């Protein structure tokens, strides 16, 4: 398990970057980064923070994040999004 201080350091590092569409969508859903990461067992919090901050991630990880976001959107009866809508940086 990752050290909380390490995760907080990474969050602050990425807060300097422009907010991705993913961050805007998550904030609109009023959920935390942890809430999204927990939706799928194979999305680590650190990976999610990196993705939201504009860091590069694999296509597979991006698809898992998309699934998690769309589950949350569906629960709130909001329209689903496509991968391109998240503004992620893929490897």
DSSP code string of 18-70 = PPPHHHHHHHHHT--HHHHHHHSTT--HHHHHHHHTT-EE-HHHHHHHHHHHH
Beta bridge partners of 56: 89
* pLDDT tens by residue, 12-26: 444 434 557 999 999
pTM of the model: 0.79
pLDDT tens by residue, 7-56: 555 544 444 345 579 999 999 999 999 999 999 988 999 999 999 999 99
């Amino acid at each position: 398990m990752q050290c909380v201080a390490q995760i907080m350091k990474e969050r602050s590092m990425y807060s300097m970057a422009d907010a991705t569409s993913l961050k805007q969508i998550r904030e609109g859903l009023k959920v935390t980064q942890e809430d999204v990461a927990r939706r799928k067992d194979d999305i680590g919090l650190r990976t999610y923070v990196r993705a939201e901050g504009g860091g590069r991630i694999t296509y597979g990880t991006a698809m898992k994040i998309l699934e998690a976001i769309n589950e949350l959107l569906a629960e709130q009866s909001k329209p689903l999004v496509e991968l391109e809508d998240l503004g992620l940086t893929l490897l």
